[in-house]
Amino acid sequence: MVTATVNKIIPFSCVDGPGNRTAVFLQGCNFDCKYCHNPETIHSCVNCGACVPYCKPQALRMEQGKVRYDMEKCVLCDECFHHCPHGASPRTREMTAEQVMVQVRKNMPFIRGITVSGGECTLWRDFLAELLTLAKAEGLGTLLDSNGSHDFSGDPGLMAVTDGVMLDVKAWSRQDHLAVTGRDNETVLRNLCWLAENRKLTEVRTVIVPDLFDCTETVEAVSRILSETGSTATRYKIIRFRPMGVREAYKSLPAPTGEQLSRLRDIAESYGLQDVVTV
Ligand code: SF4
Ligand code: SF4
């Protein structure tokens, strides 16, 4: 039976795609973004037990070499992953797609659909395809929130049950993307074009960190692609870097000024984009 490591399920979210949605966050990511706001979702727990003593309500314990998590006792203080030396979280569950759907069904009929995020949700490709198939069978919309490292054009099975992808384009040039994430962006940019051409691109996001990468080049190039592919109605979210939740070493990264964000918004709109959002 296919399972995935689930970091959390938010029953009702209005920030993970259009309308009210249940958002499912899967553990693990193949990028290592310097500005990651949820670094505890990057790696898998190795059951070292280092976090257990920091859990005052004793929601964590070691049992047969594995860390066990008791959701009932947890007060969501986050002390565990702040003390994890491996960039992981002990607050995860192995779940099948059907087990996730049991949670999702509790939220019907108040949701329009589900959004699967991460970490990077496509690292759990087979689980994902099962979950989205089940959600579709219930009449729910299905969105993915992805860093774009999975070749969507080569995965018609997954695309058949995916309404749309909310795609991060973290930097345009290969060098910049390597500096921001530790990985190149060849597949990301191919996905940007392919998803736009195939009307599967729900939203594009770029987090703006001046000095870390060429933000102007990135916003300009993404806007040009959206324009050239007739995707001017696709939302482009230009996101201000904020240090909250970011690892200590990167907290001093510069945040953009309001003026810089407005300038980037103007650039995007100069390409005819109709739904540019700065947040
Ligand atoms: S969450 Fe981190 S500190 Fe806790 S057991 Fe897992 S790897 Fe160790
Ligand atoms: S967030 Fe972590 S440390 Fe805090 S109560 Fe829950 S399991 Fe324990």
Q: Is the CB of 48 under 6 A from ligand 1?
A: yes
Q: Where in the chain is the domain with CATH 3.30.70.20?
A: 46-90
**Number of separate helices (H) and strands (E) present in the chain:** 8, 11
Domain covering 3-41+92-278: architecture: Alpha-Beta Barrel (3.20)
Q: Where in the chain is the domain with CATH 3.20.20.70?
A: 3-41+92-278
Q: Decide: pTM greater than 0.85.
A: yes
Q: What is the largest CA-CA distance in the chain?
A: 60
From the number of C-beta atoms within 10 Å of its C-beta (0-12, 13-18, 19+), residue 61 rates as middle
Tell me whether residue 123 is exposed, middle or buried, using C-beta atoms within 10 angstroms of its C-beta: 0 to 12, 13 to 18, 19 or more. buried
* pLDDT at residue 1, as a whole number: 84
Q: pLDDT by residue (tens digit) across 156-186? A: 999 999 999 999 999 999 999 999 999 999 9
pLDDT band at 248 (very low <50, low <70, confident <90, very high): confident
Determine the atom of ligand 2 nearest the C-alpha atom of 81.
Answer: 2
Q: What is the pLDDT of residue 249?
A: 86
Structure confidence at residue 173 (pLDDT): 98
Choose one of 8, 76, 83, 84 to mutate for the ligand 2 pocket test, by most ligand atoms within 8 angstroms of C-beta: 76
Res 6 pLDDT > 90: yes
Instruction: Output the CA 25–ligand 2 centroid distance in Å.
Output: 18
For the cut 90, the answer to whether the pLDDT of residue 96 exceeds it is yes
Ligand index nearest the alpha carbon of residue 47: 1
Handedness of CA 54, 77, 69, 126 (dihedral sign): negative
**Centre of ligand 2 from the C-alpha of residue 59, in Å:** 6
pLDDT digits (tens, 9 = 90+) for 183-223: 999 999 999 999 999 999 999 999 999 989 999 999 999 99
**Domain 46-90 is of which CATH architecture?**
2-Layer Sandwich (3.30)
